[in-house]
Amino acid sequence: MSEVTNQPRRKSPVESLSQESREKLKNLNADIISTRKIGRVERFFGKENYRILKGLVTTPTSIVGLILIAFFVLIALAAPVIAPPLPNTDPYQMPRDGYSAQPKPPMSEWKSDVPPTPGWYTFFTGKEEWVHLMGTSSNAYDIFYGVIWGTRTALKTGVIIEFITLLIGILVGSFAAYYGGKVDNIVMRIVDIFMTLPFLLAALILAAVLMPVLGRSTVPSVIALTAFGWMNYARLIRGDILTVKERDYVLAARVIGVKDRNILFKHIIPNAIFPTLVIASMDIGTYVLNFAALSFLGIGTQIGYADWGQILSFARDWITQLGTYWYIVVYPGIVLVLFVLGWNLVGDAVRDVMDPKLRKLQESSQEG
């Protein structure tokens, strides 16, 4: 229960009215105009955000994208069922069938250290013996296993990178917008400098520096990609906060005596953050692609970790014979492309719904 300040209580407006005029007011309620009917979802998200969400689930390309994403999420969730790991081993370590450097083609027999045969395989083929569905890469790693468990790696690293990047971006952007003036100017110049760096090259260098220190794992790539990825979000949120800051309801909050910090957290950020959140979440595909690129270049997880980029990197040893060993590239390549495509389709739709005018402008200026 809140305390009520002990100054003499002022009469409430209604109390101060005569009975007669109260009655009069009641009658005047008749002039109420009927309000627009609004669903619960729209009420929860607010009009503008609802429009964006609605656009997401009604644009055809976006629907295709969402289906692709849902497909990968399902694969990631069901990985232990689709490709059961060897008992008592790290499931993210791809099982290997011996030590042969020579890749084996799809459907070839599994010889040693065979993981449990998945139930679905037996169900469809009636066979008990597990095979290399997509063949093996150099050093006899099972490609199918890597592709399935690599989906988990992709989603996990994608989400983590996105989350940290977004957090940094939002903190920096809000800080700049909130303090404004010189602070804003300096922070945004730093952002500009970061933006001029070629993203992947900068991340590559940083990850290469970090790897000897931190060891082989997903961590160096995650740090490197985060370090050079936050600037766009900082810009976005800053712009939106600056716009929202000028809205009358923020002034109204000051007029009724809301403290500055509460204005920021209750009135400004909730109204500014949604577009940044949506745009950012659609960048997961790009982060996964970049993560795979670093992996391909040999920076990242330990050898044998289930990770699309790494499987692709095995192809480097067979670059002259890819006609024969096409399966090392094609299977992980296809999943990576589909994964990125899914996010990009949704991302494009989001940007379209959010700002169709700006988008058209950009396109025409690129053409012209």
Partner 1 sequence: MKNGEVLLDVKELVQYFPIRRGVLQKVVGYVHAVDGISFDIKRGETLGLVGESGCGKTTTGRSILQLYKPTSGQVIFDGMNLVELNGKKMREERKKIQMIFQDPYASLNPRMTVEEIVGEPLKIHKIVENSEIRNKVKELLELVRLNPAYIDRYPHEFSGGQRQRIGVARALALNPELIVCDEPISALDVSVQAQIVNMLEELQSEMNLTYLFIAHDLSVVKHISDRVAVMYLGVIMEMTSRDELYSNPLHPYTIALLSAVPIPDPEKEINRKRIILEGDVPSPVDPPSGCRFRTRCPLAQEICAKERPEFREVKPGHFVACHLVREITPGVFRAEI
Query: Binding residues for partner 1, per CB under 8 A?
Result: 1-5, 10-14, 16-17, 21, 25-26, 28-29, 31-33, 35-36, 38, 43, 46-48, 181-182, 185, 189, 247-249, 251-259, 267, 270-271
**Min dist. Cβ of residue 196 to partner 1 (A):** 16
Closest to partner 1 by CB, 10 vs 357, is 10
Closest to partner 1 by CB, 17 vs 202, is 17
For 188-221, b/e burial (b = at least 16 CB within 10 A) is: beebeebeeeeebebbbebbeebbeeeeeebbbb
Q: For residues 54 and 189, what is the distance between their CA atoms, to the nearest angstrom?
A: 36
The two tokens of residue 15 are 């109390």
Q: For residues 329 and 180, what is the distance between their CA atoms, to the nearest angstrom?
A: 50
Closest to partner 1 by CB, 189 vs 360, is 189
Amino acid at the residue 337? V
**Min dist. Cβ of residue 189 to partner 1 (A):** 7
**Min dist. Cβ of residue 25 to partner 1 (A):** 6
Q: Are 22 and 14 in contact (CB under 8 A)?
A: yes
**Min dist. Cβ of residue 278 to partner 1 (A):** 16
**Min dist. Cβ of residue 41 to partner 1 (A):** 12
**Category of 139 on φ-ψ map: left (φ > 0), alpha (ψ -120 to 50) or beta:** left
**Min dist. Cβ of residue 281 to partner 1 (A):** 20
**Min dist. Cβ of residue 353 to partner 1 (A):** 18
Closest to partner 1 by CB, 16 vs 320, is 16
Report residue 342 CA to chain centroid gap: 12
Report residue 17 CA to chain centroid gap: 56
**Min dist. Cβ of residue 347 to partner 1 (A):** 25
Closest to partner 1 by CB, 9 vs 357, is 9
Closest to partner 1 by CB, 74 vs 186, is 186
- Look-up of token digits 């005047």: 28
Tell me which residue of 250, 252, 282, 281 sits closest to 266, measured CA to CA.
Answer: 250
DSSP letters of 143-185? HHHHHHHHHHHHHHHHHHHHHHHHHHHHHHHHHHHHH-HHHHH
Closest to partner 1 by CB, 147 vs 244, is 244
Closest to partner 1 by CB, 111 vs 189, is 189
Q: For residues 169 and 182, what is the distance between their CA atoms, to the nearest angstrom?
A: 19
Neighbours of 102 (CB within 10 A): 10
